[in-house]
Amino acid sequence: MAEKKIKDQALVIFGASGDLTHRKLIPAVFDLYMQKSLPDNFAVLGVARSEMTDDAFREKMKEGVIEFASMKTTDEKIINEFCSMLHYVSINTSDSADYGKLKQRLVELDEKSNVKGNYIFYLSTPPSLYPLVPSYLAEQGLNKEEDKIRRIIIEKPFGTDLQSAIDLNKKLYENYDEDQIYRIDHYLGKETVQNILVTRFANGIYEPLWNRNYIQHIEITAAESIGVENRGKYYDNSGALRDMVQNHLLQLLAVVAMEPPMSIDASAIRNEKLKVFQAIRHYSDSELITNVIRGQYTEANVKGKYKKGYRNEADVAPDSRTETYVAMKLFIDSWRWSGVPFYIRTGKRLPTRVSEVVIHFKPTPQTLFIDNPEFRNDGNQLILRIQPDEGILLKTGMKIPGTGFNVKNVNMDFHYSDLANSYIPDAYERLILDCMIGDASLYTRADALESTWGFVQPIIDFWKNNPDAPLYGYPSGSWGPDCADSLIEGKEQTWRYPCKNLSDDGIYCEL
Ligand code: BG6
């Protein structure tokens, strides 16, 4: 259950000299500061190997705040005031002997900033340190809650396969209870992902239709137009299945497919999501071949600019068979979803950056309005747009004014940008605040995490044991391998090809 008032506390960030801290974490804390959401007494302690003074750390973070915070201000005094709460200590994070120095620094912070021994430890480090840092903290007694806050936030990737995820959970449990462990999945922090719960459970009209009787199929897309950028080293050992499907896409699936929770609290919500993960049908090898498609982007000119193929990206093996695209059809074997296919896809270097869920309702049983070349009676679509142009769109049949009964599909849409207060908090802002409050609803529990790895593990194994299994090339800037279209059953059914603007779709919209 969430605590009411946020206790005074310090946020201790491991990996403080890294990209995530500078681009996401500190800007998110700054946004909380601007909205007066931080506790009365608060401090940040950055921890990393590089030698840096507090002042040098503040200077670096100031640049991050100016460039990346959502709450923009030109008032340098405000930014400096915020930065005065930031501190830094350099230790060798993989050497347990150095943690005494960290503890000493925390004791000093307690005195200086009155954070009362309450600490959140944020691990934004290479994953190899995930088992180590928490146990070195424990050696210093920094895991002991008693009446204090002692929580750890762990970034993805949480494991690289099922066994490593189980091992990491076990290792953490040696010194921490489950309710001290916050496994982050930034998709769950997105305002529009939480709005899926509100759409479903705050409206009487959707839920009666939200099942196998009225829904024909569901699509979930997370498309990106960027390539692997400078993350080739990580990505070539990961691929889209581990990077996006095991976590973000399956979390989205759970939010769309879960039963109504008994209340909006962490354990009720997470119990329902777990049931979805447990009900996802696992593939046999032969089913996998027809239901999972992987692809890799190849070189192409995109909007007049040359884009390298994946194999020519920095730190990627020239003969790499790592997938940058995955599409799959899956089933949830539950009372509600029996027989309803879910199609999920994600990829890099697709035509646009868009994440959305498309609910395809069944068509009317009879096509009354025949002779309508413009109208295909293939069911209403409800589109829940996660990003960009956040909003909701319902495609519905409407009579074209005039003689006869000509029908046309029209859009009924709501865009967040139409709200008077259209500030959408960044995912990290929401998630860090939730952890400070002690609300883990939007974090992943160990059982759910292991369940999602359990689903992807046979796919990982199959690709590992069958390196010649098809890996389709697709030109950068296209919607992925053509054969992904054939996953979707039904006459003339394909994926929706979304555009930047929620209301538009079609293959040619992003010219
Ligand atoms: C991250 C992945 O978790 O999510 C990245 O590691 C991906 O590869 C990113 O680019 C996508 O997040 P968003 O919020 O931009 O959709």
Q: What share of the chain is helix, strand, coil (3-state, %, to 5)?
A: 35, 20, 40
Please state the φ and ψ torsions of residue 294, each to the nearest 5 degrees: -120, 150
Mean pLDDT, residues 245-256 = 98
Q: Give the Å distance between the CA of 182 and the centre of ligand 1.
A: 19
Q: Give the Å distance between the CA of 223 and the centre of ligand 1.
A: 10
Q: Whose CA is nearest to atom 4 of ligand 1?
A: 244
Kind plus residue range of the DSSP H or E element containing 297: strand 292-298
Q: Which atom of ligand 1 is nearest to the CA of 222?
A: 16
Query: Given this model, what pLDDT does residue 4 score?
Result: 55
Q: CA angle, 290 as apex, 286 and 295 as ends, to 5°?
A: 120
Q: Which atom of ligand 1 is nearest to the CA of 235?
A: 8
Please tell me which residue in 22, 186, 217, 248 is annotated as part of the active site. Answer: 248
Which among 152, 126, 173, 151 is positioned nearest to 450, based on CA atoms? Answer: 173
Provide residues with CB under 6 Å of ligand 1: 156, 224, 243, 355
Query: Given this model, what pLDDT does residue 511 score?
Result: 62
Query: Given this model, what pLDDT does residue 491 score?
Result: 66
pLDDT (tens digit, 9 = 90+) per residue, 62-102?
999 999 999 988 899 999 999 999 999 999 999 999 999 99
Q: Which atom of ligand 1 is nearest to the CA of 224?
A: 10
With beta carbons less than 8 A apart as the criterion, state whether 380 and 394 touch. Answer: yes
Mutate to test the pocket of ligand 1, among 156, 244, 385 (most ligand atoms within 8 A of CB): 244
Same fold, 9-155 and 188-355+425-487: no
Mean pLDDT, residues 183-201 = 95
Q: Whose CA is nearest to atom 15 of ligand 1?
A: 224
Q: Give the Å distance between the CA of 457 and the centre of ligand 1.
A: 21
Strands (E), 224-258: none
Mean pLDDT, residues 36-62 = 96
Q: Which atom of ligand 1 is nearest to the CA of 190?
A: 14
Q: Give the Å distance between the CA of 437 and the centre of ligand 1.
A: 25
Q: Whose CA is nearest to atom 13 of ligand 1?
A: 187
> To 10 degrees, what angle do helices 446-465 and 266-279 make?
30
- Dig out the tokens for 362 from the structure: 């069944």
- pTM of the prediction? 0.94
- In whole angstroms, what is the distance from residue 39 CA to residue 33 CA? 9
Which among 87, 186, 183, 45 is positioned nearest to 127, based on CA atoms? Answer: 183
Mean pLDDT, residues 466-470 = 94
Strands (E), 65-149: 86-90, 119-123
Query: Given this model, what pLDDT does residue 404 score?
Result: 85
Q: Which atom of ligand 1 is nearest to the CA of 187?
A: 14
CA–CA distance from 195 to each of 64, 166, 182, 267, 383 (Å)? 29, 31, 21, 19, 12
**Class of CATH domain 9-155:** alpha beta
Mean pLDDT, residues 349-365 = 95
Q: Give the Å distance between the CA of 396 and the centre of ligand 1.
A: 32
Question: Would you list the domain boundaries of the chain?
Answer: 9-155, 188-355+425-487
Q: Whose CA is nearest to atom 10 of ligand 1?
A: 224
Query: Given this model, what pLDDT does residue 1 score?
Result: 45
pLDDT (tens digit, 9 = 90+) per residue, 14-45?
999 999 999 999 999 999 999 999 999 999 99
Q: Give the Å distance between the CA of 153 and the centre of ligand 1.
A: 18
Mutate to test the pocket of ligand 1, among 241, 243, 426, 430 (most ligand atoms within 8 A of CB): 243
Provide the pLDDT confidence category of residue 426 given band limits of 50, 70 and 90.
Answer: very high
pLDDT at 361 over 60: yes
Q: Whose CA is nearest to atom 14 of ligand 1?
A: 187
Mean pLDDT, residues 259-281 = 96
**Does CATH number 3.40.50.12780 belong to domain 188-355+425-487?**
no
Please state the φ and ψ torsions of residue 47, each to the nearest 5 degrees: -130, 130
- Dig out the tokens for 429 from the structure: 């802002």
Q: Which atom of ligand 1 is nearest to the CA of 427?
A: 14
72 CB neighbour count, 10 Å cutoff: 8
Residue 143: which residues within 8 A CB-CB, separation 6 or more?
A: 134, 137, 150, 175, 176, 180
Query: Given this model, what pLDDT does residue 372 score?
Result: 73
- In whole angstroms, what is the distance from residue 221 CA to residue 472 CA? 18
**Strands, sheet with 181-183, edge to edge from the N-terminal-most edge strand:** 86-90, 42-48, 9-14, 119-123, 150-154, 181-183
pLDDT (tens digit, 9 = 90+) per residue, 295-344?
999 999 998 999 999 999 999 999 999 999 999 999 999 999 999 999 99
Provide the pLDDT confidence category of residue 5 given band limits of 50, 70 and 90.
Answer: confident
- Dig out the tokens for 303 from the structure: 């909007």
With beta carbons less than 8 A apart as the criterion, state whether 121 and 151 touch. Answer: yes
pLDDT at 2 over 70: no
Provide the pLDDT confidence category of residue 406 given band limits of 50, 70 and 90.
Answer: confident
| Residue 388, preceding peptide bond in cis (omega within 30° of 0) | yes
- Dig out the tokens for 183 from the structure: 């496994």
Strands (E), 178-316: 181-183, 215-223, 292-298, 300-302, 305-307
| 248 flagged as catalytic | yes
Q: Give the Å distance between the CA of 65 and the centre of ligand 1.
A: 20
pLDDT (tens digit, 9 = 90+) per residue, 436-455?
999 999 999 999 999 999 99
